Amino acid sequence: MSARPAAHEAGPPLLRLRDLRVSLPNGTRGHTPVLRGIDLDVAPGECVAVVGESGAGKSVLARTVLGLTRREGAHVDAAQFTIAARDGLRLSEREWRGVRGGAAALVLQDALQSLDPLRTIGAEVGESLAVRGVPRPERRRRVIDALRSAGLPLGAAQPAECGGEEGGGADPATADDREAARWLRRRPGEFSGGMRQRALIASALVGGAALLVADEPTTALDATTAVRVLDLLARLRDEGTGILFITHDLGAVERLADRVAVIEDGRIAETGDARTLLTAPRHATTRALLAAVPRGAKPGPAPAAGRDVLRARGAVRRYHGASGEVVAVDGVDLVLRAGEALGIVGESGSGKSTLARLLVGFEEPDAGSVSRAEGARIRLVPQDPLGSFDPRHSVERILRHARRDDAPTPAELLRRVGLDPAMLPRRPAHLSGGQRQRVAIARALAGRPDVLVCDEPVSALDVTTQAGILDLLGELQRRDGLAMVFISHDLAVVRRVSDRVAVMRAGQVLEQGATEHVLARPWHPYTRELVAAAGSAGR
């Protein structure tokens, strides 16, 4: 972590919390305490990171800071709750909307869910200005400035000459202006994950936010894209923006944060200067988080070569949309053998999740083939577990529906993924993101699979829970001969669990081989870029 000037000290903190307490509705006409006396400040030009295990209260803190939990029925109380020089306990919902559209802004993990897929990027980024009645030419100029400031390649346009509303209007006069206009007309689905995250940050910039609340903004991004987003946040911080950075990525904390607060069970267990806390932690929770960061290669010898259980030969998958044909998987050749773990890495939008659906059999290739061993049971652990659950069903019903007769009981399945069986009556919406991910893994195990296809299975988990899940998957491989395809953007995790690795970009496998060989001596330029970026991001 490199030294940098101290945070801007002029004026009061952008955020000050003293003895903040939050209780959420528990579905039985009562409330459950989630935050239990939080003290926290964020100054202009300062990044304060909040880390902790899944369910510790990090995301509840992020939502509460921007007035979002009260409208969900939460009880919020504090000795002091000041945001942008206003009393957060006394703001009406209308006043909170003004705060969120101006002085403070939220940047979420999944920008695709935050952006309206039917609206243009220009309209989305400029919404807060439109609500305030900013004239269209001025609005357009500020939207383009914000997108350019967020690192999107709009060229060096003079947008004030373009006129019209965002995404339309008169023909721009220059090539740069025309390029900017094309960007404004694009929709979120046409952007990569990193571009969508930058557009979301631009939405905060265009409203003049002095405080950014960033809730896991790099968790779903590959290493190269994460580094660019972290560099953007660092630049904003250095220009005077205060950042409350919610994350479980300790590498990102090391790169960006000035101070760190560690949350455990709704309380701050330890807080301090980032450099000191990460190198000399005092509290057992902090030490456990640091000890669980994945490092090194997969333990134990490589498995003996078994029978082929999955094979892709020249597999191609195409989709047709409004902008034409997209080749998501382009001539992929892969083989997975019994008892082996194959890692697949690549940037957002490289085709990894589409390949997972082909391997499981949810989709069929348009050309080439995907073959599976006769009788092989293949189960998917999806990237978005919440979207794969019936929200009306309890955890117990979800597991019983997926369970084979010879599988462990629902209670035992939860224990095997580190969850308390007391969660069986709960519904997915009442679980944290990490807890939902673990239920998704338990559901896959209920089918007694021979092959597990894991699409970002630990991306939503804190490092201690992540380490437990990785250990569990390793145990299943050793004990049951389970074969696994492990898709991830996190090279450290892939190295920890995989015997072999394939590197994807633009639907193609660029390089594959033994994991340690590929990551230690990559020959393809893109693989070298990924490995270098992972080191820079602390992954």
Q: Domain containing 520 — which CATH number?
A: 3.40.50.300
In a domain, 46, yes or no: yes
Question: CA–CA separation, 233 vs 225, rounded Å?
Answer: 13
Amino acid sitting at position 473: L
Residue 193 CA to chain centroid, in angstroms? Answer: 10
Same domain flag for 59 and 171: no
SS3 272: strand
In a domain, 297, yes or no: no
Same domain flag for 284 and 430: no
Q: What is the pLDDT of residue 481?
A: 82
In a domain, 303, yes or no: no
Instruction: Extract long-range pairs of 173-182: CB within 8 Å, 24+ residues apart.
Output: 179/154, 179/155, 180/144, 180/154, 180/155
Same domain flag for 318 and 192: no
Same domain flag for 471 and 355: yes
| Per-residue confidence band for 112, with pLDDT thresholds at 50, 70 and 90 | low
Token pair for residue 167?
């995404």
In a domain, 296, yes or no: no
Same domain flag for 217 and 284: yes
Token pair for residue 264?
């455990």
Same domain flag for 177 and 247: no
In a domain, 301, yes or no: no
**CA distances (Å), 457 to each of 134, 497, 498, in order?**
44, 12, 14
Token pair for residue 344?
């697949």
In a domain, 298, yes or no: no
Token pair for residue 499?
């015997």
Report, as an integer, the average pLDDT of 61-76. Answer: 92
Any idea which of 143-157, 207-221, 472-486 has the lowest mean pLDDT? 143-157
Q: What is the pLDDT of residue 363?
A: 93
Q: Extract the runs of DSSP E, i.e. beta strands, from 216-339.
A: 242-246, 259-264, 267-273, 308-321, 324-337
In a domain, 45, yes or no: yes
Question: CA–CA separation, 403 vs 446, rounded Å?
Answer: 4
Strand order across the beta sheet in which 267-273 lies: 104-107, 211-215, 242-246, 47-52, 259-264, 267-273
Same domain flag for 348 and 433: yes
- Which residues does residue 106 pair with via DSSP β-bridges, in sequence order? 213
Number of structural domains (the chain) is 3
pLDDT at 7 over 70: no
SS3 389: coil
Furthest-apart CA atoms within the chain: distance in Å: 70
| Per-residue confidence band for 96, with pLDDT thresholds at 50, 70 and 90 | very high
Question: CA–CA separation, 83 vs 103, rounded Å?
Answer: 9
Any idea which of 27-36, 141-150, 292-301, 384-393 has the lowest mean pLDDT? 292-301
Share of residues in the chain with pLDDT > 70 (%): 88
Same domain flag for 200 and 216: no
Q: Which residue, 331, 328, 374, is CA-closest to 354?
A: 328
Question: CA–CA separation, 518 vs 495, rounded Å?
Answer: 10
Same domain flag for 508 and 406: yes
Any idea which of 57-66, 286-295, 461-470 has the lowest mean pLDDT? 461-470
Report pLDDT digits (tens) over 176-222: 677 778 888 888 877 777 778 888 888 888 888 999 999 988 877 77
pLDDT at 10 over 60: no
Same domain flag for 492 and 520: yes
Same domain flag for 398 and 266: no
Helix axes 463-480, 433-445, angle to 10 degrees: 10
In a domain, 302, yes or no: no
Same domain flag for 281 and 164: no
Report, as an integer, the average pLDDT of 3-15. Answer: 65
Report, as an integer, the average pLDDT of 383-402. Answer: 88
Q: What is the pLDDT of residue 459?
A: 76
Q: Which structural domain range is residue 437 located in? A: 308-537
Q: Which residue, 230, 231, 286, is CA-closest to 463?
A: 286
